[in-house]
Amino acid sequence: MYKSKIKYLFFVLITLSVACSNDQKENAKSEAPIEEANEEASGLELTSEQMKTVGITIGEIEQKNLDAVVKANGQLAVPPQNKADVSILSGGIITRINVLEGQQVRKGQVLATINNQDLIKIQQDYLASKNSFTYVQAEYERQKQLQAADAGTGKSFQSAQATYNAEKSKLNAYESQLQQLGVSPASIAKGKIVSQFPVLSPINGTVGQITANTGAFVQPGTSIMEVVDNSKIHCDLTVFEKDLMAVRVGQKVSFQLTNQENQLISGRINGINKSFENESKGVVVHAVIDNAGNKNLIPGMYVTALISTGSKLTAALPVDAVVRSEGKQYIFIVTSEKESKADTFHFVKTEVKTGVVEQGYVQIIFLEELPKNAKVITKGAFYLQSKSAGGAEEE
């Protein structure tokens, strides 16, 4: 009798435990605002209510006219005529440097001053040549008048003419030499002898690296600084052989400044080289930049460029329809719509490739053929991606 009561009590306790467990499951279902997606071996399932709550929408794959692009890398540069090395024609000691690196200068502005003792001798020779030329010129004019009046001999006139031409050429050579050194022949003719000559800026621009110091002796032809005019900055891009036939002069280019928070600038192709660079099978393509925003662009900055090669009709989806995982790209395809009370939708993740992105749409390249009129998730695909990966995936 005692054993029968124990068995009865044990049976009652088990029955109550099962009943409580069932009640807890029912309560959990009724309290949950969104029922978790039921993941199956072949995909995921969501109800219409779940999709509405998290903002998932379904649509068809569209055909859009998107710009086809060629991707290229390169860096900013300036044309040779907009970058100058400031060199000196005659050696000497730098007595003064008038500018700092980064300073804006004008063409003809004095950048530095050079002390050169040989300059004094050049001026002396110039003055001697000028005085000698004055006498030779007067003699030439006298012989010319005699020759016109048939009062002189042809030999004397020819000798005077030859001497005149030789002295004139010599004088012009001294004047040209002084002008190249930045010294005015007119002021020397008035007796103003100088021992220093200025170093002038050859172009408008910004002073770059200064490679000499005050008091240093510099040899002729030595560059002491550089001046760069960034107003004509352009981009040199490397386009590989497989893409070369699609690139033409005049095409629009969008640039991303790689190390400048991916700032965007635009431009156009204005030149294509006709030879390959080394063994890379790449051709340098030149593009002018529209820097209407006056961004601080510096030669040497690296860029990633998209060259627009023309629009074409292609399969496209909204950007939100594509998710990324482990370096691959996916979309979610609707495989069935169960017309039941629960109104359940079944989805399968499919790998794709993407192309150009424009106006909120991205080109879709399918790796396998899809069913005709297939429907896909056009918004909210990230929610399904996080559910399929247990919430661990990031877009």
HEC profile of 223-266: EEEEEECHHHCEEEEEEEHHHHCCCCCCCEEEEEECCCCCEEEE
Domain ranges of the chain: 35-65+313-388, 69-80+230-311, 91-227
**pLDDT over 90 for what percent of the chain?**
19
Q: What confidence tens digit (pLDDT) does each residue in 210-264 have?
A: 999 999 999 988 899 999 998 888 899 999 988 888 899 988 888 888 777 767 7
More confidently predicted of 270 and 25: 270
**Tokens 């009129």, located at residue:** 373
Mean pLDDT of 307-322: 84
pLDDT over 80 at 73, yes or no:
yes
Mean pLDDT check: name the lowest of 110-119, 282-291, 317-326, 384-393.
384-393
Average predicted confidence (pLDDT) for the chain:
80
Pick the CATH number of 69-80+230-311 from 2.40.30.170, 3.30.300.20, 3.40.920.10, 3.40.710.10: 2.40.30.170
Task: In whole angstroms, give the CA distance from residue 302 to residue 258.
Answer: 6
Mean pLDDT of 156-163: 87
Tokens of 139: 């003699």
**Tokens 């950048």, located at residue:** 111
pLDDT over 80 at 32, yes or no:
no
* CA distances from residue 261 to 197, 237, 271, 303, 312 in whole angstroms, order as listed: 46, 20, 28, 11, 30
Secondary structure (3-state) at 275: coil
Pick the CATH number of 91-227 from 2.40.30.170, 1.25.40.10, 3.30.420.40, 2.40.50.100: 2.40.50.100
Query: Does the pTM exceed 0.85?
Result: no
Contacts of 98 (CB under 8 A, 6+ apart): 110, 111, 112, 113
91-227 matches 35-65+313-388 in CATH topology: no
Phi-psi category of residue 94: left, alpha or beta, with phi > 0 → left and psi -120 to 50 → alpha: beta
User: According to CATH, what is the number of the domain 35-65+313-388?
Assistant: 2.40.420.20
